[in-house]
Structure formats: C-alpha cells, structure tokens
Amino acid sequence: MSEHKVREHLEQAERKQKKSKPRNPERPQREAKGEMKGETKSLKGKHVAILATDGFEQSELTDTRDALDRAGATTTVIAPHAGAIKGWQMKDWGDEVDVDLTLDKAHADDYDALLLPGGVLNPDKLRTDTSAVTFVRSFFEAEKPVAAICHGPMMLIEADVLHGRRVTSWPSLRTDIRNAGAQWSDEEVVVDRGLVTSRKPADIPAFNRKMIQEFAESAVSTRTDRSTIE
C-alpha cells in the first residue's frame, strides 16, 4: 500500500467516525454516564492505533475503542491479517471486530498513540511477530503515549521498553515485568511517563479516563508526514 493510500485510509476512517453511531448502544446507561463523566478531554484530530489479533479480550478492545471514539479520536484496528479478528469473552469466543489495516501496511509515524488490549491469546501471538514488536517499540522511541491493559503489557516486555518504569498488569505477569526491569504495582491504573496500564476488565473505566488524559496531553500532533520524506 502506498503512503497516499495510507493517508486516504486515515481520512476515510475520520469521515466514518463522524457518521457512525455508538458501537455498543445496549450498554447500561449508568455505566456509560459514569465513564463519560471522566472523559472530558478532547482527542479531536488524534489518530490512535489499536494493535490486536485473534483472542483479544472483548471489552478491552471494544469498550476502550468506544471511549476513544466518544472523545473524538480516529481509531484504527491493526492486525497481522486482513478481514476480522475474533474476541475472547471471559470463558469463550466472543464477537469479531473488523481489521482496518494490516500490520505490514502500518507505520507508527501515522499515529499519535497506541492501545494494546489484553486477552491471553492475543499478545501471546503478537509477541512472536517481529513486525508487531517493532511497531510497539517505535511508539516508545518516538515518545508517544501508549496504553496497555491486562495481558497487553506482554508486548511491552517483548519490546524491552519497561526498564525503570512503574506499571501494573494482570497479576500473572508480575514476575516477568519485574524481570524486565520495571516496578509492578497492584493498582487499577498506573501512569508513568506517557504509559498507562491497568490490570483487568473491571479497571476499564479508570483506564479509559487516564488513557484519554494522557493521549490528549501529548503534542497536538506527533504524526510524521512521510510524503515529504524521500
């Protein structure tokens, strides 16, 4: 895909975002209001990459993406393969989510921030993909904000970007995170230098608030216009 095609995709995603209805209209009204109360920052003009594959924890992609959309961001679901990726919902397979862009066509320069949903199978597959690991590492090298929840930090371990940071995750990753040079903390959400982490689906409301805050407070635009680069 040419750079022109990538930019065209992002523009189409923005137009689609403006016209689309909320993705989860049946969510309890009380929960939606509670989340919106903390989602006061605007992400208008921000492009957020969501890296995932089959086996992502359903709510950790769909609910967080909905929060980003409501805040005005343009979100792009990126996966190693085209078509759709299948979620995992607690103890069984969940719904499919359309893939917007395949990983081999994705460039970190085109995005302002990165979201890494959890689910055991999802990051376990992604961490064996060198392109996925490089994609994640690129956000840290460019000092762009990243949000990872539950087992999502497995990708941060593989990308070797946790040294000296304070993070949280699903408890089973505690030792691996410490071995990667980070300080693990059992909190619903931890923020450290643009990295937002949470432990589990129950932490999503707090995770969304901090994620949106960090994404909003990054530079107005951290994307690179690669059309000017020879």
pLDDT for residue 7: 61
pLDDT (tens place) for every residue of the chain, 230 residues total: 555 555 666 666 665 554 444 444 333 332 333 334 445 679 999 999 999 999 999 999 999 999 999 999 999 999 999 999 999 987 889 899 999 999 999 999 999 999 999 999 999 999 999 999 999 999 999 999 999 999 999 999 999 999 999 999 999 999 999 999 999 999 999 999 999 999 999 999 999 999 999 999 986 555 665 544 44
Among the listed residues 150, 161, 167, 173, the single catalytic one is 150
Asked if 150 is an active-site residue, the reply is yes
For 208, counting Cβ atoms within 10 Å of its Cβ (0-12 exposed, 13-18 middle, 19+ buried), the class is buried
